[in-house]
């Protein structure tokens, strides 16, 4: 993984110093609250319902054991002993004090971490496939591209006061595990017919109040042109994006209003005329890429008799292996998902003790590397098959062994009414009730791949639009009401879910979801997933049983 | 309103001229006014002319003035409205060699970004200058030293510093 050198470290240290100065200048009155707000947001500090919230950047979701340990320590020293992993592969602390924020940033800087641009109207953390560099189907490791973008976008003089936030995601495979089509810019690494590696660029995707699937703005971009092209894309957005209404200020609205053709023409003209050098030299690009070279794997056999026997002997381990273990490009290795979705837990939360356990396992068994996923789980990317049983036992000792990756209880939920000032309904308690209803692992496996995502308001932080079953909590005359959507999809077959009809009460929403799943189990064909079944049968087949009882 | 550049407070030797009013030695005109004056400006050294430009001005309107005028002052209606960062950078790319001024309530914390986009100076409201005295702008100036972007005025890119350190 990328390691900060003296220059990256100096940059981060300077930023921490700058924020310390800004806090002091706010307190002295040199900065007004209006002026201070975007500055604190650009350093990851939100004012939430009950307290400040600090969002720490985990660039493209990759971190090492020492960094995870530091997060654990911060959660104990400055917070309530836990952290919350987010859908943008970052971590949030929900209870820090403003006066402690500069000290926390110093602590983070000591392990090469920071909170720069995790909020505010700027280019946010670039996200990617949690199996980057590991997945067998990958054309190229997307992390080198992510790191190039991280550096380019860090305090970019031109793009730090945009009309609205700006999110970029990169994937190195055709199978999209980074949800690139619902980002402001999505980047797919592709290979041309001539065998040249380059990028397909999507623009104008997003969720929120106006969900949209990104459109292709450039079918093939040669690799060396990436930053120049992004600069053109951002400049057209910065100059022409709407500033009159914050809910219409994302690039998706600009692209929608002027049309993808007009946007593309503007970008291509800008791209052609951009003067001066934008990308660092080839030597620097090679330096970055070298950090993501394949690690030194042991020479192992393709299969492990020890692992196979452990699966035969312990059905619980076998269930976890079926759901949470993923193929790896190196023989004798696997990647594994640590589910942060135990039955009854708050999705994405981990205690300090769990974070330390994950750090220890990564250091001992996973070449000192962890990945945060946009599904709010953590991945151990480099495990020997022989080590899987011991890793599983260590996870089990910490309650981190839920065998539910991608199943009905692997729920994404926003913080909701319990924490968030914007929320109009509870989210986490709904997730917990759904998980409890479907707690039986056998039932979960029988239902198969199914994503449920819950947002507590129309801002859609819980990504309900791209869930197979989406849940949107609203306030109807003082009462929580939950609308359901069906058929959303975050992958290469991306789709925005369709509303079933009137919403359900807090009490009834779990029954409603059970009815939908029942309808699927009744009518599915062998091997058909919920999403496939919905696409074959259409809305009416689900709507009818859903509202029949009412 | 107070004017400063990288050296500190500076006198303003430009006169803001109202539409249609007589020209001064160095006249800062609104873009529309300059366009309307047409031939009147023909015999004048363009370096004694400056333009005040809104941040949503159509860029094509600026092309005839590039490489000629002595000053372009871009409006920042609020510090959070960052359109003029792009406009300023574009003017520099297109060859504007005169002074580039940010006019409006920009804050000291934005000075590194302004410099990075090619601005030379800021003209800020009195009250803001009182709240953010020169020392705060000087402190911001010191933060310019290190940045990732390549080819930005007044500082070395981190990638170039790395290359030097290796040699």
A378 lies in the same domain as A508: no
Give the separation between CA A413 and CA A420, rounded to whole angstroms: 12
Check if the beta carbon of residue A113 is closer than 8 Å to that of residue A70.
Answer: yes
For residues A179-198, give the mean pLDDT. Answer: 97
Q: Kindly report, residue by residue over B60-81, the tens digit of the pLDDT.
A: 999 999 999 999 999 999 999 9
Tokens of A285: 């690009």
A141 lies in the same domain as A266: yes
Q: What are phi and psi of B20, to 5 degrees?
A: 80, -10
Give the separation between CA A438 and CA A411, rounded to whole angstroms: 12
Q: Which fold has domain B3-166?
A: TIM Barrel (3.20.20)
Give the separation between CA A33 and CA A367, rounded to whole angstroms: 45
Closest CA to A453 of A501, A486, A421: A486
Please tell me which residue, A365 or B38, carries the higher pLDDT value.
A365
A163 lies in the same domain as A77: no
Closest CA to A467 of A489, A498, A448, A449: A489
Q: Kindly report, residue by residue over A254-306, the tens digit of the pLDDT.
A: 999 999 999 999 999 999 998 778 888 888 999 999 999 999 999 999 999 99
Percent of chain A residues past pLDDT 70, beyond the cut: 100
Tokens of A39: 């500055």
Give the confidence band of A51 by pLDDT, cuts at 50, 70, 90.
Answer: confident
Q: Tell which of A351, A367, A397 closes a domain.
A: A397
CATH number at residue A478: 3.30.413.10
Q: How far is CA A229 from the centre of its chain?
A: 24
Q: Which of A310-314, A400-404, A416-420, B125-129 has the lowest average pLDDT?
A: A416-420
**How many domains are there within chain A?**
4
List, in sequence order, every residue forming a beta bridge with A45; answer none if it has no partner: A54
Residues of A with CB below 8 A from B114's CB?
157
Quote the pLDDT of residue A278.
87
A283 lies in the same domain as A141: yes
User: Does residue B154 surpass a pLDDT of 80?
Assistant: no
Closest CA to A96 of A80, A111, A108: A80
For residues A23-48, give the mean pLDDT. Answer: 91
Give the separation between CA B136 and CA A35, rounded to whole angstroms: 14
Check if the beta carbon of residue A83 is closer than 8 Å to that of residue A91.
Answer: yes
For residues B1-5, give the mean pLDDT. Answer: 94
Give the separation between CA B62 and CA B68, rounded to whole angstroms: 11
A529 lies in the same domain as A385: no
Burial class, A196, CB count within 10 angstroms (exposed 0-12 / middle 13-18 / buried 19+): exposed
B86 at interface of A, judged by CB pairs closer than 8 A: yes
User: Does residue B39 surpass a pLDDT of 90?
Assistant: no
A151 at interface of B, judged by CB pairs closer than 8 A: yes
For residues B5-19, give the mean pLDDT. Answer: 96
Quote the pLDDT of residue A275.
75
Cα distance from A50 to chain B (closest Cα, Å)?
Answer: 26
Our separate counts of H helices and E strands in chain B read 6, 10
A63 lies in the same domain as A141: no
Question: Considering only alpha carbons, which residue of chain B is nearest residue A285?
Answer: B159
Quote the pLDDT of residue A549.
65
In a domain, A296, yes or no: no
Which residues, numbered 234 to 273 in chain A, qualify as contacts with chain B under a Cβ-Cβ cut-off of 8 Å? Answer: 235, 238-239, 243, 273
CATH number at residue A75: 3.30.70
Q: Kindly report, residue by residue over A480-528, the tens digit of the pLDDT.
A: 999 999 999 999 999 999 999 999 999 999 999 999 999 999 999 999 9
- Report the residue count for chain A: 550
CA-CA distances (angstroms) from residue B21 to B14, B33, B40, B61, B65? 15, 10, 12, 22, 20
Question: Considering only alpha carbons, which residue of chain A is nearest residue B131?
Answer: A30
User: How many Cα atoms within 13 Å fall on the side-chain side of residue B148?
Assistant: 20
A153 lies in the same domain as A285: yes
Please give the mean pLDDT across all residues of chain A. 95
In a domain, A386, yes or no: yes
A428 lies in the same domain as A522: yes
Question: Considering only alpha carbons, which residue of chain A is nearest residue B114?
Answer: A157
Per residue in A273-296, is it b (16+ CB within 10 Å) or e — as a string? ebeeebbbeeebbebbbeebeeee
Check if the beta carbon of residue A231 is closer than 8 Å to that of residue A277.
Answer: no
Mutate to test the interface with A, among B86, B96, B111, B146 (most CBs of A within 10 A): B86
Contacts of A138 (CB under 8 A, 6+ apart): A129, A131, A132, A172, A173, A329
A243 lies in the same domain as A369: no
User: Does residue A550 surpass a pLDDT of 60?
Assistant: no
Q: Kindly report, residue by residue over A428-466, the tens digit of the pLDDT.
A: 999 999 999 999 999 999 999 999 999 999 999 999 999
Give the separation between CA A517 and CA A519, rounded to whole angstroms: 5
User: Does residue B134 surpass a pLDDT of 70?
Assistant: yes
Give the separation between CA B123 and CA B106, rounded to whole angstroms: 8
CB contact under 8 A, A160 and B82: yes
Tokens of A76: 């104990």
Supply the range of the domain harboring residue A256.
134-289
Q: Kindly report, residue by residue over A225-262, the tens digit of the pLDDT.
A: 999 999 999 999 999 999 999 999 999 999 999 999 99
List, in sequence order, every residue forming a beta bridge with A200; answer none if it has no partner: A188
User: How many Cα atoms within 13 Å fall on the side-chain side of residue A65?
Assistant: 13
Question: Considering only alpha carbons, which residue of chain B is nearest residue A5?
Answer: B162
Cα distance from B142 to chain A (closest Cα, Å)?
Answer: 10
Mutate to test the interface with A, among B56, B58, B76, B80 (most CBs of A within 10 A): B80
Cα distance from A284 to chain B (closest Cα, Å)?
Answer: 6
Give the separation between CA A431 and CA A451, rounded to whole angstroms: 12
Closest CA to A292 of A186, A172, A210: A172
Cα distance from B59 to chain A (closest Cα, Å)?
Answer: 10
Tokens of B30: 């609104």
Check if the beta carbon of residue A121 is closer than 8 Å to that of residue A241.
Answer: no
- Report the residue count for chain B: 167
Quote the pLDDT of residue A319.
97
Which residue among A161, A276, A287 sits closest to B80, beta carbon to beta carbon?
Answer: A161
> What 3-state class would DSSP assign to A531?
helix
Q: Tell which of A338, A365, A397 closes a domain.
A: A397
Count of other CB atoms within 10 angstroms of residue B7:
9
Beta-strand (E) ranges in A421-547? 452-455, 469-476, 479-486, 498-499, 504-505
A167 lies in the same domain as A276: yes
Mutate to test the interface with B, among A15, A19, A161, A165 (most CBs of B within 10 A): A161
A390 lies in the same domain as A493: no
A138 lies in the same domain as A285: yes
Determine the straight-line distance between the first and last CA of chain A, rounded to whole angstroms. 54
In a domain, A220, yes or no: yes
Tokens of A513: 């979801």
In a domain, A123, yes or no: no
Counted across chains A and B, CB pairs separated by less than 8 A come out at: 115
Q: What are phi and psi of A398, to 5 degrees?
A: -105, 10
Helices (H), chain B: 31-37, 83-93, 111-116, 126-131, 134-142, 158-166
Residue with tokens 């022409």: A240
């Amino acid at each position: 993984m990328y390691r900060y050198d003296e220059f990256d470290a100096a940059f981060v240290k300077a930023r921490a110093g700058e924020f310390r100065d800004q806090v002091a200048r706010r307190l002295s009155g040199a900065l007004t609250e209006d002026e201070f707000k975007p500055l604190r947001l650009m350093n990851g500090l939100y004012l939430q319902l009950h307290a400040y919230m600090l969002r720490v950047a985990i660039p493209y979701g990759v971190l090492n054991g020492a960094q995870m340990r530091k997060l654990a320590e911060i959660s104990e020293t400055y917070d309530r002993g836990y952290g919350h992993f987010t859908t943008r592969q970052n971590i949030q602390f929900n209870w820090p004090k403003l006066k402690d924020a500069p000290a926390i940033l110093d602590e983070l800087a000591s392990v090469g971490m920071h909170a720069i641009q995790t909020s505010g109207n700027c280019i946010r953390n670039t996200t990617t496939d949690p199996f980057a560099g590991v997945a067998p189907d990958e054309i190229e490791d997307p992390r080198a591209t992510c790191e190039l973008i991280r550096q380019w976008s860090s305090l970019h003089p031109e793009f730090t006061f945009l009309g609205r936030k700006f999110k970029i995601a990169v994937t190195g495979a055709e199978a999209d595990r980074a949800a690139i089509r619902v980002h402001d810019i999505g980047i797919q690494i592709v290979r041309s017919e001539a065998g040249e590696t380059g990028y397909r660029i999507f623009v104008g995707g997003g969720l929120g109040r106006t969900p949209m699937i990104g459109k292709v703005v450039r079918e093939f971009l040669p690799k060396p042109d990436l930053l120049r092209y992004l600069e053109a894309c951002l400049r057209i957005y910065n100059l022409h994006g709407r500033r009159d209404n914050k809910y219409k200020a994302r690039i998706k609205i600009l692209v929608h209003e002027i049309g993808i053709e007009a946007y593309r023409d503007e970008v291509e003209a800008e791209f052609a005329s951009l003067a001066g050098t934008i990308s660092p030299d080839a030597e620097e690009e090679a330096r970055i890429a070298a950090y993501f070279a394949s690690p030194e794997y042991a020479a192992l056999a393709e299969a492990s008799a020890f692992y196979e026997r452990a699966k035969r002997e312990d059905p619980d381990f076998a269930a976890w292996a079926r759901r949470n273990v993923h193929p790896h490009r190196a023989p004798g290795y696997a990647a594994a998902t640590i589910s942060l979705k135990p039955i009854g837990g708050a999705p994405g939360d981990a205690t300090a003790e769990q974070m330390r356990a994950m750090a220890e396992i990564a250091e001992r068994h996973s070449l000192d590397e962890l990945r945060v996923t946009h599904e709010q789980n953590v991945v151990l990317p480099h495990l020997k098959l022989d080590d899987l049983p011991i890793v599983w036992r260590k996870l089990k000792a910490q309650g981190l062994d839920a065998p539910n990756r991608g199943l009905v209880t692997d729920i994404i939920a926003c913080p909701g009414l319990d924490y968030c000032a914007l929320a109009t309904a509870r989210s986490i308690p709904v997730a917990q009730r759904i998980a409890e209803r479907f707690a039986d692992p056998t039932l979960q496996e029988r239902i198969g791949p199914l994503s449920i995502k819950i947002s507590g308001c129309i801002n859609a932080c819980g990504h309900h639009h791209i869930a197979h079953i989406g849940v949107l909590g609203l306030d109807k005359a003082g009462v929580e009401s939950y609308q359901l959507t069906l058929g959303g999809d975050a992958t290469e077959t991306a789709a925005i879910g369709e509303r079933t009809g009137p919403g359900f009460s807090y009490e009834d929403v779990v029954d409603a979801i059970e009815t939908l799943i029942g309808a699927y189990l009744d009518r599915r064909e062998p091997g058909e997933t919920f999403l496939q079944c919905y696409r074959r049968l259409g809305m009416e087949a689900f709507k009818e049983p859903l509202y029949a009882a009412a | 309103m107070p004017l400063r550049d990288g050296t500190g407070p500076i006198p303003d030797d430009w006169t803001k001229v109202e539409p249609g009013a007589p020209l001064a030695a160095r006249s800062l005109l609104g873009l529309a006014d300059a366009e309307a004056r047409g031939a009147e400006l023909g015999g004048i050294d363009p370096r004694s002319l400056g333009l005040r430009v809104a941040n949503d001005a159509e860029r094509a309107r600026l092309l005839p003035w590039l490489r000629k005028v002595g000053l372009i002052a871009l409006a920042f209606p609020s510090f959070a409205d960052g359109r003029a960062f792009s406009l300023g950078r574009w003017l520099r790319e297109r060859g504007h060699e005169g002074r580039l001024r940010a006019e409006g309530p920009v804050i000291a914390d934005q000075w590194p970004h302004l410099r990075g986009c090619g601005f030379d100076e800021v003209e800020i409201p009195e009250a803001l200058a009182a709240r953010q005295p020169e020392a705060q702008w000087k402190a911001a100036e010191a933060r310019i030293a290190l940045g990732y972007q390549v080819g930005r005025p007044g500082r070395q890119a981190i990638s170039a510093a790395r290359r030097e350190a290796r040699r």
